[in-house]
Amino acid sequence: MIFVTVGTNELPFDRLVKRVDRLKAEGFIDDDVFMQIGYSNYLPRSCEYKRLIGFQDIQKMCSMAKIIVTHGAPSSIALSLHFNKIPIVIPRKRKYQEYMNEQQVLFTRMIEKKGGQIIPVYEINYLCEAIRSYDVLVRRMKCNPPNAERNSTVIMAYIERLDNICQDQLD
């Protein structure tokens, strides 16, 4: 099963929801797909979905999923890693009005650069390839399960850096 989460941001992430639904409809994805679509305007036709689900249900989905496809929020990425899953990360982008800034792109790039175990997809056209080659990509990453301690350190460093930037702005 593939679990897709777009988080709870009030801005739609139709670009991701539409692409996954299309890949499923056209047979590029064989697995069952469950999507948490948040405030997206597009409603999937080929995938099971709910707009919002509780934290226990998200944990259950993460636990059951073979693949987790997530937006670029630190909490969603961290939850995937908590369940020893290497997530496919598609950051929301300002230019598509999916987010108010480029924070998710910057965060995804920082994790990638620091060696965090994620599969970043910056252009939605590469999502199919990432899903189809998921097992190979994960094996190449180090042939080890995700290093939760290292990933946690990277995420915490980012949160601390963001906190410092916000504090500087307030001062």
Per residue in 39-79, pLDDT (tens digit) is 999 999 999 999 999 999 999 999 999 999 999 998 899 89
What is the Cα–Cα distance from 53 to 60, expressed in whole angstroms? 11
Q: For the whole model, what pTM was predicted?
A: 0.83
Using DSSP, state whether 150 is helix, strand or coil.
helix
Specify the DSSP element, H or E, that contains 100.
Answer: none
For tokens 């897709």, the residue is: 4
Specify the DSSP element, H or E, that contains 112.
Answer: helix 103-113
Contact call for residues 69 and 2 (beta carbons, < 8 A): yes
pLDDT confidence of residue 141: 81
CATH of domain 2-170: 3.40.50.2000
- Render pLDDT for 143-163 as a digit per residue (tens, 0 to 9): 555 455 555 666 666 566 655
